[in-house]
Amino acid sequence: MTPLETDFTDRERSKGKRMSKGSIWVASLVVGGLWLGGCNRPGADAPEALPVLTPAPAAADRAAQPRIVILGDSLTAGFGLTREASYPALLQKKLDAAGLGYQVINAGVSGDTSAGGLERLDWSLEGDVRIVIVALGANDGLRGLPLAQLESNLEAIIERAQARGAQAVLAGLKAPSEAGPDYGARFEAIYRKLAQKRRIPLIPSLLEGVAGKPELNQADGIHPNEEGAALVADNVWKILEPVARQAAAGTARSSPQNGPQSQP
């Protein structure tokens, strides 16, 4: 390349660099102007505020809450369902929504009888247990176990729960039709008898509106599906809500920070 050609090439390169820098500077102004114009133009929509979500109670806070223990079998354990779809989990949501600070303990064991519930009662009632829902007896009925044994076990569970200072709630159940009408009638009467004798709230029928309806049960015809479990939770909630509110009010009245209460 000749010196002239070299000089010309160098001048073109220098010119190109100046144009590139100028182009970049102009482009920056244009983009910046467009952005500013878009933000400041009249009638421009303001950025939407992000929704504020109320956090669920932390694990430590939940563990510190007084407990509601539901002592039961596979109906309580949520057989065939996710744990979140079981009726105890749905009751937890109802309590939270109502502002009632309890921790629901699902003490359901598949296949358990009233005798099994009695055997594991002590460790099921560990912690600050305020309410015990006794939902046992379905497997006693399915196996045709002696009714005197069922009554004795249920009463022992209730007595021991009350001795610990907990409010007991009894969930009524019905024996399967295969057990016969006589057995079925005497089976159901046990729950009414114990509720009256021990002066505790009674859930008339845990599976009211669910039992015997294929659309609300799983393929086995015994265990509720998700829709059925939601109805079971409603059955329990009708009785549990006032009991839970009364227990919470009693705790507040007896709290040392509230001072002594005047007597009527």
- The active-site residue out of 86, 112, 124, 223 is 223
pLDDT at residue number 251: 67
CA angle 118/240/141 to nearest 5° reads: 40
Per-residue pLDDT reduced to its tens digit, 117-161? 999 999 999 999 999 999 999 999 999 999 999 999 999 999 999
Distance separating alpha carbons of residues 105 and 95, to the nearest angstrom: 13
Lowest mean pLDDT among 25-34, 194-203, 242-251: 25-34
pLDDT at residue number 81: 98
Torsion of CA 234, 235, 238, 243, to 10 degrees: -110
pLDDT class for 95, splitting at 50, 70, 90? Answer: very high
Radius of gyration of the chain (CA): 34
Work out the number of other CB atoms within 10 angstroms of the CB of residue 207.
23
Lowest mean pLDDT among 17-31, 95-109, 128-142: 17-31
DSSP-derived secondary structure for 87-125: HHHHHHHHHHHTT---EEEEEE-TT--HHHHHHTHHHHT
DSSP-derived secondary structure for 128-142: SEEEEEEE--HHHHH
Q: Is 114 left (phi over 0), alpha (psi -120 to 50) or beta?
A: alpha
CB of 67 within 8 A of CB of 102?
yes
Whether residue 193 is predicted with pLDDT greater than 70 in this model: the reply is yes
CB of 232 within 8 A of CB of 253?
no
Distance separating alpha carbons of residues 50 and 78, to the nearest angstrom: 36
pLDDT at residue number 59: 65
Sheet holding 129-135, edge to edge: 103-108, 67-72, 129-135, 167-171, 202-203
Distance separating alpha carbons of residues 70 and 40, to the nearest angstrom: 60
Burial degree of 208 (CB within 10 A; 0-12, 13-18, 19+): middle
pLDDT at residue number 13: 45
- The active-site residue out of 74, 110, 152, 205 is 74
Q: Which residues of 76-102 are buried (b: 16+ CB within 10 A; e: fewer)?
A: bbbbbbeeebbbbbbbbebbbeeebbb
Q: What angle, 0 to 180 degrees and rounded to 10, lies between the N-to-C axes of helices 147-163 and 181-198? A: 20
Average the pLDDT over 239-254 and give the result.
86
pLDDT at residue number 26: 34
Q: Does residue 220 carry a catalytic annotation?
A: yes
pLDDT at residue number 62: 81
pLDDT at residue number 130: 98
Whether residue 54 is predicted with pLDDT greater than 50 in this model: the reply is no
Domains detected in the chain? 61-251 (3.40.50.1110)
pTM for this prediction = 0.74
Whether residue 234 is predicted with pLDDT greater than 60 in this model: the reply is yes
pLDDT at residue number 45: 47
pLDDT class for 56, splitting at 50, 70, 90? Answer: low
- The active-site residue out of 45, 182, 220, 255 is 220
The residue among 141, 122, 138 whose CA lies nearest residue 72 is 138
pLDDT at residue number 250: 78
Average the pLDDT over 229-233 and give the result.
98
